Amino acid sequence: MRIRIVTPAARGSRSGNRATAERWARFLRAGGHRVTVATDYAGEPADALIALHAWRTAGAVDRFRQRHPERPLVVALTGTDLYRFQYTDPETTHRTMSAADCLVGIHEAVAEDIPSAYWDKLRVIIQSARPPTDPRRPVKREFRALVIGHLRDVKDPFRAARAARLLPGDSRLMIHHLGLAPDEDWAAAARSEMAANPRYRWHGELPHWRVRRALSRSHALIHPSLMEGGANAVGEAIIAGVPVLASAIPGNTGLLGADYPATFPAEATQTLADLLQRTEADAGFYNRLTERCRQRAPLFEPEREGADWRTLMDTLRG
């Protein structure tokens, strides 16, 4: 099939949406499909359309469905679709969802966050992560916890730093934050936190290979987001064997499992501090987290994601 993948992120963008679209394209090309990735659909030849982001690609979905009412149309739901635009613009978001033959969610709890009328259309395909190239060797001079994510309100970027302030003096915990400051105000806030908090270091945006290396040298990942569609950082930590401490939002529990033992209520600084202290001091608890992540790792293998996408498109083709 000629498949067009539409994403709001332009070519060359460092956006996660663009990286996701390009990865899906590689998987589908490996299955013999001809795939183009673009930011819109304006009548170009296509036997099927995959729209990444229900609200932002609504125009492209409308045009494809009007031109080709019988051809396969897949809409992949992002975190902002699920947790923002369904409420701020439900008419547009649900119109796009209604037009789709299939809705793709990227974590296991998506069904809880969409109307029951769409459940029959839903297919969960968890985003994969590449296994690390470096052996896992956590540093010995400190108990290193990573925060991976840009400095944005929705990521609650300084929650881990605030929790670290509450740890006892004999703790060896250090927070290392990897992520872009989108403007000088955020950069100044990160520098101010570093100056006041000896347990926090902000490293700015790093190349992906350095992020993966940093994971292999760390003891844990902290993912405190307030809203999330299913973060790549969580999958990369799991497949690297790095225990995750995460806010108990659907985008995290849908990746880690509903009964994962190291989640905390969003914005709960003291609860996160208690969890950090236990993760550092209780070897049995730490080993249990490591084992739970090991058990979840097969869900994030690239071969699985690729096979799921090829099966889906072959099924829709009939």
pLDDT band at 18 (very low <50, low <70, confident <90, very high): confident
Rounded Cα gap, residues 288 and 155, in angstroms: 26
**pLDDT the model gives residue 167:** 98
Closest CA to 145 of 275, 285, 287, 282: 275
HSE, CB side, 13 Å, CA atoms: give it for residue 313.
26
What percent of the chain has pLDDT above 90? 91
pLDDT digits (tens, 9 = 90+) for 209-261: 999 999 999 999 999 999 888 888 999 999 999 999 999 999 999 999 999 99
pTM of the model: 0.91
Over residues 60-83, the pLDDT tens digits come to 999 999 999 999 999 999 989 999
Fill in the DSSP letter of residue 158.
T
Q: How many CB atoms lie within 10 A of CB 220?
A: 25
Strand, helix or coil at 56? coil
Residue 15 has pLDDT above 70, yes or no: no
Could you give the CA distance from residue 89 to residue 299 in angstroms, rounded to a whole number? Answer: 32
What structural domains does the chain harbor? 2-127+302-317 (3.40.50.2000), 143-300 (3.40.50.2000)
Q: Which residues pair with 177 in a beta bridge?
A: 147, 202
User: What is the crossing angle of helices 269-281 and 283-296, to 10°?
Assistant: 100
State whether residue 292 is helix, strand or coil.
helix
Q: Return d(Cα 199, Cα 172) in angstroms, integer.
A: 9
Nearest to 17 by CA among 43, 39, 34, 2: 39
Whether the pLDDT of residue 173 is over 70: the answer is yes
Q: Are 57 and 34 in contact (CB under 8 A)?
A: no
Mean model confidence pLDDT for the chain: 95
